[in-house]
Structure 1
Amino acid sequence: MIEPRFVRAVNNIRPYGAHRYDLFGPKIGRRLTLFGRLALDLRVRLESDPRVVTYCERPLCIPDAKPSRVVDFWFRTHDDERLCVVLRTAEWTSAEQGGSLFPAFQSWSRASSFQLQMIHPKELDDPQVLRENRVMMLCYLAGTHAITIEKLMSGVLTVCKNGTTLSELERQFATADPMLVRSAVFRLLLRGEVRCAALALEPLGPNTELDVPSCRSPLVHYDSIEAPFRRILPISVSGRRRTTARFLMRARPAEAPDPRDDAVLGCHTPLREISRETGGGFNDVYRIFERCITQHEDGRIFGCRALIPYQHTRS
């Protein structure tokens, strides 16, 4: 695998008046800080586009720009590398009047084999249903990032070849936690290996139909680079909770209630050992564990579902 050309933001200075968002990026496997809604929108689109292999926020500054200006994102696909600049009001006004933006930087980009992509804020619109579906899928990916589900994904992909629904998958893989099944489905969707024809038309739910794109019916890519999504919803899980979740997937104390969950909680590691390993307080770890073993309305424990941000486990 080719190493990313950029791996960290060149600076973390918050522009005046811009909101700050601390997020976790499943595709890049690290936390990142963004400033402003448009940067957040573009990041969600990069995470959701199966063509994007990796990306980096604020990879470099545009020299001689006044006021100072950073490139919003760099990203790499299988075919090329691009630099994305979301235009500010004064910039797109100048461009509409025929002005040339950052001519020296454009020349440098071409010489460095970058495609410089300037995005007008009006291009950053998306159907509301599609926006909310993408955010929900990223919530699941952030919550299960530290959990290995490749074997489950392989099984899900096999079933999807004949067409299925989300509820049918959960019934077929009843021994696995429903959150892990959904995470496997959503990872495959965002990779482009599974298709949901109604992704932009209706909210994801139990009756969502899934299949595998064929050669005659190629996967439709919603152009996530051209039209990022603008709604602000929580899509991250704290690093400590993710770390604790990884241990909870393979450890349970002697008083854990249900032996049927041994497939998920594999061995008998005490909670205090998990507390030492994760760096979290014992009470914090116990609360997370207590959330996981709370009974869901479907009769099973919440399991990994309790780790979704803002998931309520009490009726």
Structure 2
Amino acid sequence: MGGFDARHVSPLPATRTRGARLIEAFSPKLGRRVTLHDHLAFSQWVRLEADPSVIDLCERPARSAPPQSCLIDFWVQRPGGAQLIVLESRCDIALSVGAEPVEQVALAEIAAAGQWIANWARMLPVVNATRTLRPAALAQAMLKRVSQPRSLASLEREVSSGDPAIVRGTVFDLLRQGLLRAPSLHVQPLSHHTLVEPAPGHVPEPAR
């Protein structure tokens, strides 16, 4: 598998056992639908979509070399390079996949991120549903207004767009891009009281 580059291939088909789940979702990073065949893969996909450092990704990009022939869960491109991701229990981590480094994600790690995953599983559909409705100026206005921690409710009241969902979609997309942050999403359910704040290193211009 030397020279494999998941950016130039479509996801491999995965044989779905009888009774197994089929989970479909729209990927904001890819601009297309993804098909996942269990909740573990769905949970890891949510984590990748919500990670601003992930530039590109591909589900089921390839199989490892025989004799194991393990289906790789994801290929991921970050600023520092590309890697392949295999979820724990899929197959032995010592598999042959060419030059790309392989990361094995422990099931305990996914379980520990349960609240974060549950929140983003609610937020990504809002990002998708509003993606063609959000004015570019609204994102810039939102960044200017969030110079200190602000609740979602206060932003929805303050920013008049005619539809609170568009405000939420804008905030969620800025979180997804890493321009805003909401640390409480790791430990608390998303609500109107959720606080968002500037991301480290991002200094918003003052609101006018």
Normalising TM by the smaller chain, what interval? 0.7 to 0.9
Displacement of 1:52 in angstroms is 0.5
Which residue of structure 2 aligns with residue 208 of structure 1? 194
Report the aligned-residue RMSD.
Answer: 2.4
Displacement of 1:51 in angstroms is 0.6
Change (3 A) 1:119 1:33: same
After superposition, where does 1:235-274 map in structure 2 within 5 Å? none
Counterpart contact for 1:164–1:210, Cα < 8 Å: yes
Deviations 1:210-253 (A, max 9, x none): 2103449xxxxxxxxxxxxxxxxxxxxxxxxxxxxxxxxxxxxx
1:47 aligns with 2:33: no
**TM-score, scaled relative to structure 2:** 0.84
Number of residue equivalences? 198
Displacement of 1:17 in angstroms is 5.6
Change (3 A) 1:85 1:195: same
Deviations 1:93-147 (A, max 9, x none): xx7xxxxx22xx25x22xxxx2211223333213543232111111211222333
What amino acid maps onto 1:157 in structure 2?
A: L
Change (3 A) 1:156 1:88: same
Measured in 1, the distance between the counterparts of 2:18 and 2:126 equals 32
Which residue of structure 2 aligns with residue 262 of structure 1? none
Give the 3-state SS of the residue equivalent to 1:50 in structure 2.
coil
After superposition, where does 1:300-311 map in structure 2 within 5 Å? none
Counterpart contact for 2:52–2:176, Cα < 8 Å: yes
Measured in 1, the distance between the counterparts of 2:159 and 2:9 equals 37
Picking from 169, 187, 198, the partner of 2:155 is: 169
Which residue of structure 2 aligns with residue 72 of structure 1? 73
Displacement of 1:56 in angstroms is 0.5
Which residue of structure 1 aligns with residue 206 of structure 2? none
Measured in 2, the distance between the counterparts of 1:61 and 1:204 equals 37
Counterpart contact for 2:134–2:170, Cα < 8 Å: no
Flag structure 1 segments of 5+ consecutive residues without an equivalent. 96-100, 217-315
Report which of the two structures shows the higher radius of gyration computed on alpha carbons.
1
Change (3 A) 1:127 1:74: closer
What amino acid maps onto 1:131 in structure 2?
A: I
Which residue of structure 2 aligns with residue 37 of structure 1? 39
Change (3 A) 1:15 1:145: farther
Displacement of 1:12 in angstroms is 3.9
Q: Larger % of strand: which? A: 2
Give the percent of matched residue pairs that are identical in Structure 1 and Structure 2: 29
Deviates more, 1:38-47 or 1:169-178: 169-178
Measured in 1, the distance between the counterparts of 2:54 and 2:194 equals 25
Change (3 A) 1:212 1:190: same
Counterpart contact for 2:61–2:73, Cα < 8 Å: yes
Deviations 1:246-277 (A, max 9, x none): xxxxxxxxxxxxxxxxxxxxxxxxxxxxxxxx
Which residue of structure 1 aligns with residue 88 of structure 2? 87
**TM-score, scaled relative to structure 1:** 0.57
Measured in 1, the distance between the counterparts of 2:200 and 2:109 equals 30
Which residue of structure 1 aligns with residue 124 of structure 2? 138
Displacement of 1:65 in angstroms is 3.4
Deviations 1:139-184 (A, max 9, x none): 2112223334322111111100243221121122123310000000
What amino acid maps onto 1:75 in structure 2?
A: V
1:118 aligns with 2:119: no
1:196 aligns with 2:182: yes
Measured in 1, the distance between the counterparts of 2:144 and 2:167 equals 13
Displacement of 1:37 in angstroms is 1.8
